[in-house]
Chain A
Amino acid sequence: MSSYVGRLTLELWLPVVLVALWWFASMNSTSAFFPPLRRIVQDTVDVWFIQGHISSDVLPSLTNLLFGYAIALTVGVALGLLLGLMPRLYDALEPELEFLRAVPAVAILPVAIIAIGLGDDMRITVIAFGSFWPILVNTVAGIRSTDPVVKDVATAFGLRPATRLFSVRLPSAAPQILAGARTALSIAVVLILVSEMSGAFRGLGNFVLAAQRNFAITDMWSGMIILGMLGYLVNIIFRVVESQILRWHPAYREGAKWVTSQ
């Protein structure tokens, strides 16, 4: 319990200090671009919670995020498994993959608009494309780095292909897959904004961009705060899921009890 409080303190002291600094430094600000934090907070509560932009703007963005991320995760892990198990195929495709990976997700926005249109499926595609790469690359690396002794175990005991895949290779790659999935999640949150740069008439990203265009600077700041909080929240959820999946991993073993007899 006390270690939990300690960890929370460790995690929160810097944000608290920064927010306090921001609060006092901006207290008497008259700059149009840096309004007092107090006003931003009031505005945030007002716009998002009282006027209800949470449901009209955050919810659609969140839905796109979840669909896009889910697609990236599914396709990334499936393809990563395949390419990880077929090193020659991966080596043959590597130049093309490296090229595609180097294309920033912002740059595929125009292509996606032409190919798919201006709807939510375009936005989901952009989010999926951008967050797909770290998952793919990490899955391949994770699958390729299975301990040779573990592979020998699978071979010596003649494990079936499905058992090999789901009980051996996939779990052994899980730490790396999850590291990629975490990077991908941060990218996906940023891509909410990018994907709503064109053709969106609602959504968190659209709100921030529209506010900026209309010089509603306080609104813009409030949208950024909501975006940051959303990112933080999904990250916390991710960490809980990750610690469950990896509870066997040395990094998560604390708190497990050891058997000391014999």
Chain B
Amino acid sequence: MGDVAVVEASGLGHEYSTAGVTTRILGSLEFIVASGEFVCIVGPSGVGKTTLLRCLAGLLRPTFGSITVDGHPIARGNSALSLVFQDYGRSLLPWLTVLANVALPLKGTAPRAERRDRAVSALHEVGLGDVLENYPWQLSGGMQQRVAIARALVVEPRVILMDEPFASVDAQTREALEDLVLRIRNHGGMSVVLITHDIDEAIYLADRVIVLGGRPAEVRANIPIPFGRHREQLATKAEPEFAELRARVHQLIGAPDDGRRPAADQGNPRDEGARQ
């Protein structure tokens, strides 16, 4: 793996304005994602993880700072980045077959036969070579999320972004999907940025865990994970270091942050009242 930065965020900040009230959600984030690196972003619910990912995906224009991919400013529909949504039930198009869903991002960029070939091979990569002509809603939740992963793969992205991709599948399916994503990264060499609120999942998957906290959210910690490329559900999680890392991340996320909320104090008095 090279150390070349693929994604570079500098001074990245975002605020939402609703009904005249402006709330700064993301402070001023600085981070990079190296080529081939697997980065997990963790943080408490509501801290701004989805907001951050939407900025990275080009779905949201950040209020402050910049994001570059391979040195270029981020653009909508940039095929260097692709996205796996949390809600597979809504992100796959029910009127298209599995194959058509996966081939969709290629429409208008490649001839029909090539689109089909690439979609078929992406589906084989996620182990779904035999349900091409089915509709996504005919599949189980885990299989649907595989379709979404295949759709992200088909554009041969430099980075795959995932927002809590396994939050709504059962534990067993979840482990299978985690290993699938690791295998895909090891095989394809793309970077992965995965958001989760599950600390174990983050440590198991990542080369580096970024912990977000506070309002506005800042990078609390940047923790390298020293388990190398080869991971196994039972063995890796049984490493003594795994427990140490878990405790550390736990503490960072759970750390009381009272007295460190300047924006909330001045920005949203109702918020303040609710907490007392």
Contact = CB atoms under 8 A, between A and B. Distances in A.
Interface of A: 147, 149-150, 152-153, 155-160, 162-163, 167-168, 171-172, 174, 248-249, 253, 256-260, 262
B135 interface: yes
A260 B151 CA distance: 21
B188 to A, nearest CB: 18
Contact of B93 (A158, A168, A249, A262): A168
B266 interface: no
Interface string B66-79: 00000000001111
A259 B108 contact: no
B134 interface: yes
B223 interface: no
Contact of B134 (A160, A172, A259): A259
Contacts of A153: 83, 85, 91, 93
A160 B108 contact: yes
Given A147-B90, A171-B95, A158 B138 contact: no
A258 B85 CA distance: 23
B105 A152 contact: no
Contacts of A162: 108
B77 A259 contact: no
A153 B148 CA distance: 11
B57 A156 contact: yes
B32 interface: no
Given A150-B93, A256-B138, A259-B131, A155 B107 contact: no
A149 B37 CA distance: 27
A163 B108 contact: yes
B137 interface: yes
B133 to A, nearest CB: 11
A167 B96 contact: yes
Given A171-B95, A262-B140, A158 B59 contact: no
